[in-house]
Structures are given as structure tokens and as C-alpha cells.
């Protein structure tokens, strides 16, 4: 799924006044988290991540934009939707809505992490997970 498609789905489900630029920044932030916490801790085959045959961990964010293919595909795309809902609620200072969205996001993110952990081999050197060169 492309970033623009996901934002269009989000806008349809949760009408809002935020600009595309703000939503793209939020989406990039969660993509960076997914990259650092999940993708880079495993020896994923290039074509297993977002279906991209030319996937390169080092240059993934170089061409960030609306046409970017997201790291997480169906059935786990709700990770992005609930994250955007939580960000919107936080900006609007809607505490109850934020708490609900954050809980849903954490559950969706955990489900994705567990799936990825079950289906991908972790990197050989666990100390590499803490490398600051990956950030």
C-alpha cells in the first residue's frame, strides 16, 4: 500500500483538517520506528518487505513521499491508521480518544511484531540491534 492510499483511507474513516504534509510526517515517524525496531532486527529478504524487489534499508527514506510503498502490508495496515488517529487526538488534546487510539495502536503494532518475529530470522549479532549507525 502506498502512503497516499493509506492517508486517503484514514481521511475517509476519520475526517480531519490536518494537511497532507503533517500526516506524511506522522507516517514517516511510524515507518522509522518500524524500520528500527522490527525490520533491522531481522534478516528479511528484500522481496518480503512491502513486496519491494529493490528494497534497500539504507536508502528507504531517501525518496519519502506520497507514492512510497509502506513497510507494512495487509492485514496489518491498521498499525498506521491507529497511529494517525492517536496523533490527531493528541494534537486536539482529546485525552480519552488519544488513550483509546494509543491502546489500539499498541495492540496492532504488537500483533505485527509478533507475526514478523515468527516469520523472519533475527540478525545473528544481537548487539547490532543497539547500533546507533542504524538510526
Confirm whether 115 is domain-assigned: yes
| Tally of CA atoms within 13 A in the half-sphere of 44 that contains its CB | 26
Confirm whether 13 is domain-assigned: yes
Q: How many helices (H) and strands (E) does the chain have?
A: 4, 0
Whole-number percent of the chain with pLDDT over 90: 59
Confirm whether 7 is domain-assigned: yes
Task: Determine the pLDDT at residue 43.
Answer: 77
> Which residues form the domain of 124?
3-47+70-134
Least confident of 22-31, 67-76, 121-130: 121-130
Task: Determine the pLDDT at residue 87.
Answer: 97
Task: Determine the pLDDT at residue 97.
Answer: 96
Confirm whether 24 is domain-assigned: yes
Sign for the CA dihedral angle at 35, 72, 64, 88 comes to negative
Per residue in 43-67, pLDDT (tens digit) is 765 445 554 445 677 778 888 889 9
Q: What is the mean pLDDT of residues 94-108?
A: 97
Q: How many domains does the chain have?
A: 1
Euclidean distance between CA atoms 84 and 25, whole angstroms: 10
Confirm whether 75 is domain-assigned: yes
Confirm whether 64 is domain-assigned: no
Confirm whether 9 is domain-assigned: yes
Amino acid at each position: 500500500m502506498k502512503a497516499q492510499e493509506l492517508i486517503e483511507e484514514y481521511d475517509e474513516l476519520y475526517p480531519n483538517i490536518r494537511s497532507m504534509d503533517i500526516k506524511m510526517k506522522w507516517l514517516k515517524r511510524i515507518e522509522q520506528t518500524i524500520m528500527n525496531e522490527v525490520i533491522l532486527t531481522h534478516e528479511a529478504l528484500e522481496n518480503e518487505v512491502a513486496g519491494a524487489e529493490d528494497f534497500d534499508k539504507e536508502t528507504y527514506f531517501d525518496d519519502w513521499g506520497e507514492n512510497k510503498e509502506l513497510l507494512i502490508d495487509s492485514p496489518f495496515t491498521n498499525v498506521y491508521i491507529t497511529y494517525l488517529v492517536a496523533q490527531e487526538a493528541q494534537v486536539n488534546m482529546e485525552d480519552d480518544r488519544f488513550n483509546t487510539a494509543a491502546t489500539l495502536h499498541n495492540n496492532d503494532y504488537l500483533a505485527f511484531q509478533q507475526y514478523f518475529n515468527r516469520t523472519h530470522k533475527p540478525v545473528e549479532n544481537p548487539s547490532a540491534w543497539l547500533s546507533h549507525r542504524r538510526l
